[in-house]
Amino acid sequence: MYDRLKGFRDFYPGEMSARREVVDTVETAAARYGFREIGTPHLERTQMYVDKSGEEIVEELYAFEDKGGREVALTPELTPTVARMVVAKQQALSKPIKWVSTRPFWRYEQVQQGRFREFYQTNADIFGSSEPEADAEILAFCADALTDLGLTGDDFEFRVSHRDILGGLLRSFDADVDVADAVRAVDKSEKVEREEYLGLLSDAGLSYDQAGEFADLIERGDLDEIAEFGGDDVAAAVENLRNVLAAADDFGAGEFCEVSLTTARGLDYYTGVVFECFDSTGDVSRATFGGGRYDDLIESFGGQPTPAVGVGIGNATLQLLCQRAGVWPEEELATDYYLLTVGDTRGVASDIARDLRAAGNVVEVDVSDRSFGAQMSYADSVNADTVVIVGERDLENGEVTVKDMASGDQTTVPVDDFPGDRDAPTYEDYE
């Protein structure tokens, strides 16, 4: 026996049916906004992640030297890959570029609730627009995806912030502040005690008193006060944030949004609006997903200056939210018909099965030469709605038996009339 690797998961058919339903719902919501599906490689050059995040990132990667002597890594996120793809065909692509994909990623990190070493995300990105409407459309797509899953405003909230507000406020203090380190401290603020948080801000260059003033300012979240305190650059960022929220309101997502300047998103490439989705009840302690604007990344990859905004929706944390809210799909198999054969009836059963499948039904036929009882037990195990018994004796009379598995009721039906001109005939059609 071989043990499964830590941080990697198996998904059996019942689990996969629920996962597929959720992914299909999210992707369908994206398609309604005009996001086009892309496919991306699972292996990239390690240097791409080093250039973006520094040498220390290698410790978090599944990185190795391939047989051609290249340093490569299993992809830990999508943003660098889509940035590379945009740069490769930037002049030929119509703007705005709106892409979506769902796929696995890999990070070698500590396994915990909602976090695995192999994880699945749906990513949606818009390239080529710096307008507030682009940020708002990402929020609106996310809101639609969640409500399509059966969630309501009582279940989740979008905490919306702005990196330029945070950076501008930090630079407004009379101190030599490492803005990136200070923003990472803000990102940790809800996970640590206040004294530790202020200590991290002090380590980034603020005095202890300045750290407290900054922390209080963003915690209050009074945008008028913040704009006045921070000067013109911060005032411009506040106006941009307000414009995004106004657009989100017009797009139907405003009711799910709240300003939360302690939401920072730790990645250095974010440049404007950022947001995270949280369980409103607090039962799911981790952010369900997050995203934001990253206007400088395409240029840093060698492309023309291209504004961009996107989101990554993690399947594992989304599952936690849906399960807490009671809207995660049933993890069970679904079968419309089971064709139970008795004797030498394969030809007739196969004809019926083909007709039913052509109409879009899920149909199983015995492929193991089992007894009547064994076939009936199997039909029950795969949750067959209807069993069609194709037996030699019934066929001598030109009939088959149609059995409703929920009620146990059954009736005989002329074989030429099943399925006949019906796409999905049931017992009720013949009783």
Greatest CA span in the chain, whole angstroms?
96
DSSP per-residue string spanning 69-120: S-EEEE-S-SHHHHHHHHHHTTTTSPSSEEEEEEEEEE-----BTTB-SEEE
Any known ligand binding at 2? no
Q: CA-to-CA distance for 167 and 38, rounded, in angstroms?
A: 34
Q: Which of 326, 340, 370 is nearest to 155 (CA)?
A: 326
> Does 269 belong to an annotated binding site?
yes
Q: What single-letter DSSP state applies at residue 341?
A: E
Q: Is 121 annotated as a binding residue?
A: yes
Q: Three-class SS of residue 333?
A: coil
- Annotated binding residue 422: no
Q: Is 293 annotated as a binding residue?
A: no
What distance in Å separates the CA atoms of residue 324 and residue 430, rounded to the nearest whole number?
42
- The 8-class DSSP code of residue 424 comes to S
> Is 112 within any annotated ligand binding site?
no
What number of CA atoms fall less than 13 Å from residue 347's CA on the CB side?
3
Residue 426 annotated as binding site:
no
* Closest among 26, 22, 7 to 107, alpha carbons compared: 7
Is 220 annotated as ligand-binding? no
Q: What are phi and psi of 275, to 5 degrees?
A: -155, 160
Residue 125 labeled ligand binder: yes
- Which residues, 6 or more positions from 27, have their beta carbon under 8 angstroms from its beta carbon? 37, 100, 102, 122
| Sheet hosting strand 399-404, strand order edge to edge | 363-365, 335-342, 384-391, 399-404, 410-414
Give the C-alpha distances (Å, rounded to integers) separating 254 from 87, 130, 263, 378: 33, 19, 17, 49
> Strand, helix or coil at 430?
coil
Angle in degrees, CA 247, 252, 256, rounded to 5: 95
Which residues sit in the known binding site for L-histidine? 77-79, 107, 121, 125, 265, 269-270
Which residues sit in the known binding site? 77-79, 107, 121, 125, 265, 269-270
